[in-house]
């Protein structure tokens, strides 16, 4: 389930199940979005990106969905594995040469 409080929002998921991580962005002018994965002690690692002229993009076991009407981005991970345990950040290019990161979601995979 999910918990929100002083800690990062956390999604606990059984190994083998699908995960969905959500992100709301604020700037309707943003034209490019990226999902990053950050494991403990490491820097953010690129997962998948999408431009604003698309609403869906698929990678290996991951799918990003973009809903510009409600300014919402989601990352779907199929058949979640223990190695998927990490913090996931969405980021938007708001047109000022700056990549703005969202708050982050912790994913915990239960073996």
Partner 1 sequence: DTEVTQTPKHLVMGMTNKKSLKCEQHMGHRAMYWYKQKAKKPPELMFVYSYEKLSINESVPSRFSPECPNSSLLNLHLHALQPEDSALYLCASSHSIGTVGEKLFFGSGTQLSVL
Sole binder of partner 1 in the list 1, 41, 83, 111 (CB under 8 A) = 41
93 lines the binding site for partner 1 (CB under 8 A)? yes
| Distance (Å, whole) CA 68 – CA 70 | 5
Closest listed residue to residue 9, CA positions, set 70, 64, 89: 89
7 lines the binding site for partner 1 (CB under 8 A)? yes
81 lines the binding site for partner 1 (CB under 8 A)? no
Closest listed residue to residue 74, CA positions, set 63, 85, 83: 63
Residues at the site binding partner 1, with contacts judged by CB under 8 A: 7-8, 31-32, 34, 36, 41-46, 49, 51, 87, 89, 93, 97-99, 101-104
């Amino acid at each position: 389930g999910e918990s929100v409080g002083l800690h990062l929002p956390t999604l606990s998921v059984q190994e083998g199940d699908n995960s969905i991580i959500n992100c709301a962005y604020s700037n309707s002018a943003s034209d490019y979005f990226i999902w990053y994965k950050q494991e403990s002690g490491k820097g953010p690692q690129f997962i998948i990106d999408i431009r604003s002229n698309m609403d869906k993009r698929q990678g290996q076991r991951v799918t990003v969905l973009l809903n510009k009407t409600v300014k919402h981005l989601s990352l779907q991970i199929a058949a979640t594995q223990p190695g998927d345990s990490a913090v996931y950040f969405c980021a938007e290019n708001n047109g000022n040469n700056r990549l703005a990161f969202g708050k982050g979601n912790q994913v915990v995979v239960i073996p």
